[in-house]
Structure 1
Amino acid sequence: MVSDFRRKKLLHMYKFLDKDGSGTIDKKDFQLAAESMTKQRGWKEGDALYKESLDMTDLVWNALQKAGDANNDGEVSADEWVTMWDTISKSAADREWLSQYCKFIFKMQDFNNDGFIDSDDYVAARSIAGTSKEDAVAAFQKLAQGKSKISLTDFQKLWDEYFLSEDPNAPGNFIAGKSSFD
């Protein structure tokens, strides 16, 4: 059973992924996200990173639909989303796509391409997502836990905490730049 706290943070991410505001997540949402990411990063059609972004969003959508679209209607509802994460937290079977998605998001947030996310990278990435600079700086401090940079290994642990942890004090709860989920 998903706690009220975890449900709120999962629904926070769900609403963020619902790019067209339809109330469900579908392939169009992931296409809109890919277009937005590539545009904001300055990548153009034909660039390797542009293609990688489109390929990764397709891969993640296909895996998400397989894992979460229980009624096979081409959309993932909020209830299906929460149920999917509850299932994933109990079994490692569906985690490969989650790991690939995590690596992709890490790469998208590593603005200076040095293999780490520092405060400037994180603030830039979160500002694109609509997080205030102050909130992003505070969230990075919680995520980094005293370090100046976050490695991919650290990010993967934080990523899992965001999606899988019921602990309200877990540093990963700040991965989306938000510290409360009221």
Structure 2
Amino acid sequence: MPISEFRRKKLLYVFHVFFDVNQSGTIDKKDFELAIEKICSSRGWASGSEQYKKTYNSMITIWEGLKQRADANNDGQVSVEEWAQMWDEYSRNPDNALEWQNQYLRFMFDLEDASGDGSIDVDEFTSVCSCYGLGAAECREAFQKIAQGKKEVTYDQFASLWKQFFTSENASDPGNFIFGKTQF
């Protein structure tokens, strides 16, 4: 059964906004290197600092896992179709995620949890999502949807919302807003 148009739009949004940093139409190691620079610059982490090194190591590990799993034709790039196919496979058994997918989930939570207190608040969420070109108002609205009336989102809640983003066909499910966008 092919991926629904709704899920495909979500997957392509994450592909183009969060991964295909140089907008080449594919994901490769250069996108990850650019993302590292973008993330570290936005946080004020200088090249060579502990946070920079941690970000670099995490992102390169995520890239290697993504490439190994999704790069079906071994050309060093992940195409839109390879990306969609991989996440479609994930949606069939999200409790059996690949290691790099779990690392990416943890990386995104830690990135958004700027204070390191174990939860994400609206300002932390907005800071990260707006870095990817979304307006602050949309980010705040998306946070209200994922927080479901709470002031913070814990890691366990974030992980549940994450699974929902990649598997849900229901446009009103709160997990659909985890990347800051409010409509697909």
TM range (shorter): over 0.9
CA-based RMSD: 1.2
1:159 alignment counterpart:
162
TM-score (norm 2): 0.94
Paired residues, what number?
181
Q: Structure 2: where are the runs of 5+ without partners?
A: none
1:123-162 residue CA offsets vs partner (Å, 9 max, x unmatched)? 1111211111110110000000011000011111111111
CA distance in 1, matches of 2:38, 2:50: 16
Shift of 1:96: 2.2
Q: Moved runs in structure 1, 4+ residues, more than 4 A? A: none
CA distance in 2, matches of 1:38, 1:74: 24
Shift of 1:163: 1.6
Shift of 1:94: 4.3
Q: Structure 1: where are the runs of 5+ without partners?
A: none
CA distance in 1, matches of 2:167, 2:98: 11
- Report the residue type matching 2:60 in the other structure: D
CA distance in 1, matches of 2:29, 2:170: 31
Is residue 45 of structure 2 the alignment partner of residue 39 of structure 1?
Answer: no
TM-score (norm 1): 0.95
Counterpart pick for 1:144 among 142, 147, 163 = 147
1:127 alignment counterpart:
130
- Report the residue type matching 2:10 in the other structure: K
Matches within 5 A, 1:92-107: 93-107=96-110
- Report the residue type matching 2:4 in the other structure: S
- Report the residue type matching 1:87 in the other structure: E
Residue range with higher mean Cα deviation, 3-12 or 163-172:
163-172
